[in-house]
């Protein structure tokens, strides 16, 4: 790729010049919100839903985004155009901005909007064909009554700890349980288990983010006559499932073939996972906000 352009401080700057102040409260306190969005073949997938979630997260933490949703949509599109990207991952960050060393966000004069777009495959390509081995980690999901998973904030420390535990176990992703021991989600993806034609995924109140990929899969699965249930389940249910897969904007849809040493199904990506993945791949190039007319 030639030069990479990043939207920062109200303008487009080169990657090497995209720097923020050490007094930005996003950096000092994780005080901010973000979204990860994907563009497939020049169509931004579910941009409206991502912007709704971003603005809801911001409202919940009393962060005033200095752009309307329409302006933000145009900025996302412009970032892709400037970088001549048709297939990419977009990271949209709104931090509280520059303040003093105190926690009080009233010292922050203006929120900082950052948009980065680049090509990204979260896991090596062969894992999308062969499936992932994962483990359950000791790090628990934040309790929803302490920090709602609906707020996609810059507080991702427990998600980072999940990744550290996963790497220590020699795998690239892991499952987090909630404080009651129910399966919540992965470090940055939702989890589904399959039993026959039935799909189960943890509901929001268990501690899962209501992922946009998750919701797309639920929609597709219902159209394809699967029974979809948003219900709490335990590690045991995962171990004895016919199939397990993860969904997320960065991860997309990826099969899981081993959990905590237990082989799932016959140890290969399952039939239903493949059906849903194919339908998802068709859907993402068909719908979406067009970047190039």
How far, rounded to the nearest angstrom, does the alpha carbon of residue 198 sit from its chain's CA centroid? 24
User: Which single residue brings its beta carbon nearest to ligand PMP?
Assistant: 211
CB of 286 to ligand PMP, least distance (A): 18
CB of 115 to ligand PMP, least distance (A): 16
Nearer to ligand PMP, 13 or 61 (CB): 61
Nearer to ligand PMP, 97 or 149 (CB): 149
- CA–CA distance, 251 with 220 (Å, rounded to integer): 18
Nearest in space to 90 (alpha carbons), one of 103, 81, 98, 99: 81
Nearer to ligand PMP, 173 or 185 (CB): 185
Nearer to ligand PMP, 108 or 213 (CB): 213
SS3 217: helix
The single residue of 59, 69, 86, 152 carrying the catalytic annotation is 152
CB of 211 to ligand PMP, least distance (A): 3
Nearer to ligand PMP, 251 or 264 (CB): 251
CB of 161 to ligand PMP, least distance (A): 12
CB of 169 to ligand PMP, least distance (A): 19
Which pair of structure tokens corresponds to residue 196?
């026959």
Write the DSSP string, 136-204. EEEEEPPPTTTS-TTS-BS--HHHHHHHHHHHHTT-SEEEEE-TTS-EEEESSSEEEEEETTEEEE--G
184 in the Ramachandran plot: left (φ > 0), alpha (ψ -120 to 50) or beta? Answer: alpha
Strand order in the sheet with 11-14: 11-14, 5-8, 112-118, 88-95, 32-40, 43-44, 289-290
Please give the residue ranges that form the binding site for ligand PMP (CB under 6 A). 36, 159, 185, 188-190, 209, 211-214, 247-249
User: Catalytic residue at 152?
Assistant: yes
Catalytic center residues: 152
């Amino acid at each position: 790729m030639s030069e990479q352009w990043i939207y920062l401080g109200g303008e487009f700057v080169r990657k090497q010049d995209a720097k923020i102040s050490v007094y930005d409260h996003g950096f000092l306190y994780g005080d901010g919100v973000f979204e990860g969005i994907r563009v497939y073949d020049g169509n931004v997938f579910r941009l409206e839903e991502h912007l709704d979630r971003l603005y809801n997260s911001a409202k919940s933490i009393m962060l005033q985004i200095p752009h309307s949703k329409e302006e933000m949509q145009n900025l996302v599109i412009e970032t892709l155009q400037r970088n001549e990207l048709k297939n990419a991952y977009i990271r949209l960050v709104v931090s509280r901005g520059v303040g003093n060393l105190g926690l009080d966000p009233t010292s922050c004069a203006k929120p900082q909007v950052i948009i980065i777009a680049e090509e990204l495959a979260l896991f090596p390509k062969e894992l999308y064909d062969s499936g992932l081995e994962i483990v359950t980690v000791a790090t628990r999901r934040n309790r929803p009554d302490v920090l709602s998973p609906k707020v996609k904030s810059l507080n991702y420390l427990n998600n980072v700890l999940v990744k550290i535990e996963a790497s220590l176990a020699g795998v690239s992703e892991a499952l987090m349980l909630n404080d009651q021991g129910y399966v919540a989600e992965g470090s940055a993806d939702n989890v589904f288990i399959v039993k026959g034609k039935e799909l189960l995924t943890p509901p929001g109140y268990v501690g899962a983010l209501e992922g946009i990929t998750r919701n797309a899969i639920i929609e597709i699965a219902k159209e394809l006559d699967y029974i979809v249930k948003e219900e709490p389940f335990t590690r045991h249910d995962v171990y004895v499932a016919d199939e397990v897969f993860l969904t997320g904007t960065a991860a997309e849809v990826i099969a899981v073939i081993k959990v905590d040493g237990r082989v799932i199904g016959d140890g290969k990506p399952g039939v239903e996972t493949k059906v849903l993945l194919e339908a998802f791949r068709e859907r993402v190039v068909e719908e979406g906000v067009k970047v190039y007319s």
